[in-house]
Amino acid sequence: MPEVFKSGKTKPESDEIKKILGEKMTGSSFGSCVPRPHRFKFESQQDDETVLLLGRRHIVTNFGWIALICFAFVIPFFWGEFPFLKALDGNTLVSLTMLWYLGLLFFGLQSFLMWFYNVYIITNERLVDVDFVGLLSKTVNVAQLGKVEDVNYTQNGFLANLFDYGDVIVQTASEQKTPDSSGEASAFTFESVAFPDRVAALISQLTEEAEK
């Protein structure tokens, strides 16, 4: 008897996808491009959905805030150079120093969490772009692979070319602007992702297969 409906079975990966994912990519949880992440789940993931790629901004993009923290860390060593601070009593100066370092710690932790949890997920069925903005807002964009129309990527600047990262822009059939993406070319702009060529190739391949 012919099989009319198959439940709970995922579509097997094609050789092209295996080849793209098999190429050298970072495997650790802190990686910018993690193929088939272990013990990873996301909100609204379906039972038969397999995560093919988990990505986030390239680790190099964190150098800005890390350098700022390093610079700010040494500023209290020169408190004495500021005439206004010289006039403060010892207790207040110690409190101010503690506040400074707590503020730095908060900024560092916050920046790290924003980098770590702002991810894009490519599954065998759809694309998910999770954007957290500040402490109190989040935007989750989801698109079925069949609705993807166009995929392109850009690499701008010296660092982007040196460390091989760039923006992957995905145009979908139902293009809409979301509050977080006011300055972006698409709601699905994966910013500063590692190996943008391979990510774009993977999405194109998955879209092709979804259309068949």
Partner 1 sequence: MIVGFMVKISMVLILILSLIMIRQESLMDRVVNLPIGKSLKILTWGFFGITLFVTVIVLLA
Residues that bind partner 1 (CB under 8 A): 29-30, 37-43, 88, 91-92, 95-96, 98-99, 102-103, 105-106, 109-110, 113, 116-117, 119, 121, 130, 132, 135-136, 138, 140
Joined together, the tokens standing for residue 156 give: 């701008």
CB of 49 to partner 1, least distance (A): 14
Please give the Cα distance from 181 to 170 (Å, whole number). Answer: 13
> Which pairs with CB-CB distance under 8 Å and at least 24 residues apart come from 155-163?
155/196, 159/60, 160/192, 163/58, 163/60, 163/194
Looking at the Cβ atoms of 106 and 161, the one nearer to partner 1 is 106
CB of 125 to partner 1, least distance (A): 17
Looking at the Cβ atoms of 104 and 210, the one nearer to partner 1 is 104
For 24, list phi and psi in degrees, rounded to 5: -60, 115
Q: Which of 163, 133, 153 is nearest to 202 (CA)?
A: 153
CB of 138 to partner 1, least distance (A): 7
CB of 40 to partner 1, least distance (A): 6
